[in-house]
Every structure is written in structure tokens, then in C-alpha cells.
Amino acid sequence: MDDDTISSLPDAILCRILSFLPTKQAVATSVLSKRWIPLWRSVSTLDFDDTCYVSIDDFTGDYFHTSRASYSRFLQCVYAALLYRDLRQPIHTFRLHCASFDYYDPTNVTIWVNAAVQRRVQHLDISLGFRPCDINRRPTNLSSIFTCTTLVVLKLRQMDFIPFSSDVHLPSLKVLHLQDLIFLERESLAKLLSGSPNLQDFKARGLRFDNYNTDREFKTLPKLLRADISATQTCFLFTEVVNNVQFLHLDKIPSRLLLEPQWIDLDYSYIFPMFHNLTHVELVYQPYNSDWSQVVEFLHHCPKLQVLLINQPNFHSFDSEQIGKIGDWQFPSTIPECILLHLRRCYLNDYRGTKPEFQFAKYIMQKARFLKSMAISTGIAKNLKSKMLKELSSCKRHSATCRLSFK
């Protein structure tokens, strides 16, 4: 398709095409011809990334560090794009990525976000480059977001919040992703969730609170279907917020609870409620000891589970001597209801072939009556893979239709 053919397309289609570009590139199309000059002003997606404004002077070898001059160009472009676009057109999607926290001014972000909210934004994605280790905390005032009735998707990363005093009212919000954030108090999160009654997809990773105390209760979200939670920081969300989800990604089961003697008698029902609707779970598990019992204990709380996926990050870095020291794992005396009646697919990633891993895989295949597939992936040498596959293939399977795959 030549340039003239593209230019002859209706404005709506051209604006749709431009919406897939970063705003800097969308604005640059205005130099193509007079036909293109006004188009970017009606694009409903604004996508700003300060790393797109770096110059050759910002690079040192293979690395770059944004200079003040580059960041100034970024500021000018954002303000210009907001000022010169068609004010009659709503902003559907507003993305803002700032990696240059050294020059970050929260006042600018507040102005930009307020402009998006005033134009009935539906999808807001903001990352401000703040790191918890930064000494100079510059909290951001985003209070206008929390009463935006048009907002459907809200994704916030790497920022420090100014507490919002008023109640939250987000009736249209369906997706809420929070990652690497600092709240002054836990009550702010409680207000944010209680003010989002139609939430369907919730992610909470790397959240920190200066004050964990709150008088406001966390309540179950009735329409929540998916949750992605970091258990080591926000385990309080299990019993009060995400207990009715169908899909759960659990980042890092707190294995230290079983390793420290003072936690041996801990009642796991306090951490894990009964997930009566849960059918798909993804666990990030780091079995540095030989105990897979806590995985089985978790499965006792998922009576309808059909899909189980377990990732073992960093476990592949263990050398053969370390692996050889890992002892046996004994089958538990009781079998979770989901394994007996509902489990259909099981995935074990980063498999190293330790005795506990093998025994866990064997346990699943021997006890799961309706298992259709056991999929195991590993990054080890080919000569060891064949040995592992032979061992796993020799395991008796309760389900006659169970297919074992190994890669």
C-alpha cells in the first residue's frame, strides 16, 4: 500500500492506526503531508515514555542515563501534546512511563493525570520509576483518579502515594494492577478496593505500607475473577479480598513458615481461606528444603482446582552437589479433594529431578483420578533429561487418560 492509498483512508481508521504508536511518533507523522497534520490531535491514545527522548549524549557504553536536557524535552512534548490536541476528543488510554526519577517532579504528573481524567479517560497506565531504596521520597497526588467514574483499567507502578482523604468511587473499574508502590497507610488500599465494587482483575505485588494499622475493613470483592498476589507482603488479602476468585497467581508461598520452629503449629486456614471457586492456580515456589507439604496443604484449600502450575525460579541455579543433599519427601496422609475429583492438568516448571520433586510428581499422577496431562519442563542437559523421563514414565498413573510430556 503506497502513501497516497494510506492517506485516502478515513480519519477514524488513520487515528486508530496512530493509536498503536507512542505519541512522539504519532505527532511526527504530521510532517508527511497536510493531510496528516491534524490527525494526531484526535487520537484517543496518549503514550509517553521518557526513554524515547534520550540523545546520544545520554549513552555510556551499553547503558544510558537520561540527562536533564533529555528529560526537559520529554516534559515539553507531553505538555505540547496535551495542549494542542483536540479538546473535544476524549482520551481513551493514557500511558505514562518515567524512568528518570532523578528529575521527577510530582506536580507535572498530577497536572497530566488531571487532564486525562477531565477528558473521561478509561485506561490509565502510570509508572514513575520510584524505587523503595530511594532516600528522596517524592509522593504523588493522584486523588483525581479515585473518583473517575469512566475509569475501566488502572495500572500503577513504582510510585509513592500522597494519602487520599476522600472515599473512592470507581464504579466502572474492572482491572486494577498495583506494583512496587508505597502507601502511607494500609487504609488507603482498603478504601481503593472497597470503592471498586465491579473489579474483576486484581494484581498486588511489591506493596509497602508505612503504617499497617487500619480501622477500615477489607471486604470480599463479589465480581473478582482473577488475582495476582505476592503472599509475603499482602497475605492479609487472601482471607478478606480474593477468596472467591477463579484464577490465582500466588507469588512466593512464604516457605519460611515451615522452616522456623516457632511456626510449625501455624494454622494455615489463617493464611489460606477456602477458595471455593478457584479452578486455576499458578504458584511460585522455591523449595530450598525437601518439603512440598505446604503445596499440598494449599491444595486442601482449593476443592475445585482443575489446573495447577508450579514455577521454581532460581532453582535451576542449584549445582549437582546441592541437589544431592536434598532428602526425601513423604507422601502426606490425606489427599486434597481437588486431586481426587477435579485436577485435570498439572505443570512443573524448572524441574531439576530432585527426590522431592520426583515424589511430588509421582504423588500427583498416582492420586489424581481424572488427570489428563502432566507437563514437566527443565533446563538441564539432554543426557539427564532422558533419565528423568524414564523415571517419570515408570510411575503408575491413576488416570488411564493421563499424558506425560517432558521438555
Per-residue pLDDT tens digits for 377-390: 887 766 677 788 88
Percentages helix, strand, coil for the chain (3-state, rounded to 5) are 35, 20, 45
- Using only the alpha carbons of the chain, give its radius of gyration: 26
pLDDT computed for residue 88 by the predictor? 81
The top-scoring range by mean pLDDT among 65-74, 251-260, 328-337 is: 328-337
Task: Please report the pLDDT score of residue 402 as a whole number.
Answer: 93
- Asked whether the predicted pLDDT for residue 345 surpasses 90, the reply is yes
Q: Which residue has the higher pLDDT, 373 or 32?
A: 373
Q: What is the DSSP letter of 149?
A: T
318 vs 287: which has the higher pLDDT:
287
Supply the pTM of this predicted model: 0.83
Residue bearing the bigger pLDDT, 368 or 219: 368
Spatial contact of 357 and 363, defined as CB atoms under 8 Å apart = no
Lowest model confidence (mean pLDDT) among 339-348, 367-376, 386-395: 386-395
Residue 263 confidence class, pLDDT cut points 50, 70, 90:
very low
Percentage of residues in the chain having pLDDT higher than 90: 33
The predicted structure's pLDDT at residue 123: 97
Predicted local confidence at residue 7, as pLDDT: 65
pLDDT at 266: 45
Mean pLDDT of the chain: 80
Residue 265 reports pLDDT greater than 50: no
Query: What is the reported pLDDT for 267?
Result: 46
Q: Is the pLDDT of residue 282 over 90?
A: yes
> Which cell is 405 given?
510430556
pLDDT value of residue 62 = 52
- Which range among 130-134, 150-154, 226-230 shows the weakest confidence by mean pLDDT? 130-134
Of 54, 53, 46, the C-alpha closest to 20 is: 46
Percent of the chain past pLDDT 70, that is, above it, reads 72
On the 0-12 / 13-18 / 19+ scale of CB atoms within 10 A, 277 is middle
* Most confident among 4-13, 85-94, 142-151, 245-254 (mean pLDDT): 142-151
DSSP classification of residue 42: G
> At what angle are helices 106-118 and 68-84 packed, to 10 degrees?
20
User: Rounded mean pLDDT of 209-238?
Assistant: 80
- If one compares 67 and 47, the residue with the highest pLDDT of the two is 47
pLDDT confidence band for 260 (50 / 70 / 90): very low
Q: Where are the domains of the chain?
A: 246-407
Distances in Å between the Cα of 78 and the Cα atoms of 24, 111, 323 are 9, 11, 53
User: Which pLDDT score is estimated for 281?
Assistant: 96
